[in-house]
Amino acid sequence: MSESPEAEAAARIELRRGESLSGIVRDTLERLILSGELPPGERLNELALAARLGVSRGPLREALRALEQEGLVSGGAGQRGMSVRRLDATELAELYDARALLQGFICGLVARRARPEQVAGFRVQLGMLEAAGRADDAPLYFRLNLEFHEAMLAAAAHRRGAAMYRALLKESHPLRRLMLETPANRQASQEEHRRMVDAIAAGDVEAARQAGEAHVLSGKARWLQTLTG
What spatial distance separates the first Cα and last Cα of the chain, rounded to whole Å?
43
Q: What is the CATH number of the domain that holds 71?
A: 1.10.10.10
Does 114 share its domain with 25?
Answer: no
Q: Identify whether the C-beta of residue 22 lies closer than 8 Å to the C-beta of residue 62.
A: yes
Does 68 share its domain with 165?
Answer: no
Beta bridge partners of 82: 44
User: In angstroms, rounded to a whole number, what is the distance separating the alpha carbons of residues 187 and 185?
Assistant: 5
Q: Identify whether the C-beta of residue 61 lies closer than 8 Å to the C-beta of residue 27.
A: no
Does 151 share its domain with 224?
Answer: yes
Q: What is the pLDDT of residue 78?
A: 47
| Residue 191 neighbours by CB under 8 Å, 6+ apart | none
Output b/e per residue, 152-189; b: 16+ Cβ within 10 A: bbebbebeeebebbeebbbbbbbbbbbbbeeeebbebb
Does 106 share its domain with 66?
Answer: no
Per-residue pLDDT 10s for the chain (229 aa) are 556 655 666 665 565 554 688 999 999 998 888 877 888 889 999 999 999 999 998 999 999 999 998 888 988 544 568 898 888 899 999 999 999 999 999 999 999 999 999 999 999 999 999 999 999 999 999 999 999 999 999 999 999 999 999 999 888 877 888 888 899 999 999 999 999 999 999 999 999 999 999 999 999 999 999 887 6
Alpha carbon of residue 75 to chain centroid = 22
User: Rounded to two decimals, what is the model's pTM?
Assistant: 0.78
Final residue in a domain of this structure, among 66, 84, 102: 84
